[in-house]
């Protein structure tokens, strides 16, 4: 069971170059800065704390740190690279399902998933969203960036592993952004806690 999980996670890894950027140009830091960041940065709160779930080597934790007071970056594996260290970023090696902030009063203004939300199919997306809600400030945001094909219409009867529907997210959120990046690759979903 543990071996299968490891294999699944290794398969879901973002292959990176020496400078820590993704090998796949469609997932590059430049694409993030030029095309995705402008869509989401108005939802950030510079006094708030961001949680980067499935942070990989930390390349986006480093970006989020510029717009938040602090970033907690977590990943089930330790891929975090010191080149993305920052005075206000702290890394935790833990599965999100088991994550509890060290300080039980900590809540987040932003919970960010880049290429990682879809890996939560096994435990169910409603559980993942509920876990986020338990950690999120009121009015805070869950930001999901995944391949746009992963969100399937709520009418679709067959939903493949790693795909999800809006109805999987439950009733405790408002969808405040559902936009496809201009080159058609990523969907950017912003869910706001009611």
Ligand X SMILES: C[S@@+](CC[C@H](N)C(=O)[O-])C[C@H]1O[C@@H](n2cnc3c(N)ncnc32)[C@H](O)[C@@H]1O
Name the site residues for ligand X (rule: CB under 6 A): 9, 12-14, 53-56, 59-60, 74-77, 79, 95-97, 114-116, 119
What are phi and psi for residue 170, nearest 5 degrees?
85, -175
* Choice between 76 and 151, CB closer to ligand X: 76
Residue 193 CB, nearest approach to ligand X (Å): 20
Tell me whether residue 110 or residue 116 sits nearer to ligand X (CB atom). Answer: 116
SS (H, E, C) 136-160: EEEEEEEEEEEEHHHEECCCCCCCC
**CA–CA separation, 139 and 192 (whole Å):** 6
Residue 133 dihedral angles phi and psi, to the nearest 5°: -60, -35
CB-nearer residue toward ligand X: 16 or 138 = 16
Task: Report the C-alpha gap between 69 and 91 in whole angstroms.
Answer: 15
The least distance separating ligand X from the CB of residue 40, rounded to whole angstroms, comes to 14
Read off the tokens for 88. Answer: 């206000």
Report the nearest approach of ligand X to the CB of residue 45 (Å). Answer: 20
CB of 92 to ligand X, least distance (A): 9
Q: Of 38 and 47, which CB lies nearer to ligand X in the complex structure?
A: 38
Could you tell me the smallest distance in angstroms from the CB atom of residue 152 to ligand X?
19
Give the CA dihedral 130, 112, 20, 63, nearest 10 degrees: -150
Which residue, 67 or 79, is less far from ligand X as judged by CB?
Answer: 79
């Amino acid at each position: 069971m543990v071996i299968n999980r490891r294999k699944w996670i290794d398969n879901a890894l973002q292959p990176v170059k020496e400078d820590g950027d993704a090998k796949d140009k469609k997932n590059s830091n430049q694409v993030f800065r030029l095309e995705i960041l402008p869509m989401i940065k108005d939802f950030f709160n510079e006094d708030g704390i961001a949680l980067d779930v499935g942070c990989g080597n930390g390349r986006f934790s480093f970006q989020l740190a510029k717009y938040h007071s602090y970033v907690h970056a977590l990943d089930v594996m330790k891929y975090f690279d010191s080149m993305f260290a920052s005075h206000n970023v702290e890394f935790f090696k833990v599965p999100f399902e088991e994550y509890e902030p060290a300080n039980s009063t900590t809540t987040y203004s932003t919970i960010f998933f880049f290429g990682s939300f879809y890996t939560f199919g096994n435990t169910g997306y409603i559980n993942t969203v509920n876990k986020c809600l338990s950690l999120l400030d009121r009015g805070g945001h869950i930001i999901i960036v995944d391949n746009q094909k992963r969100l399937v219409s709520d009418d679709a009867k067959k939903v493949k592993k790693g795909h999800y529907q809006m109805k999987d997210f439950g009733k405790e959120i408002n969808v405040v952004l559902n936009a496809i990046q201009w080159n058609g690759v990523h969907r950017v979903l912003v869910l706001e806690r009611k």
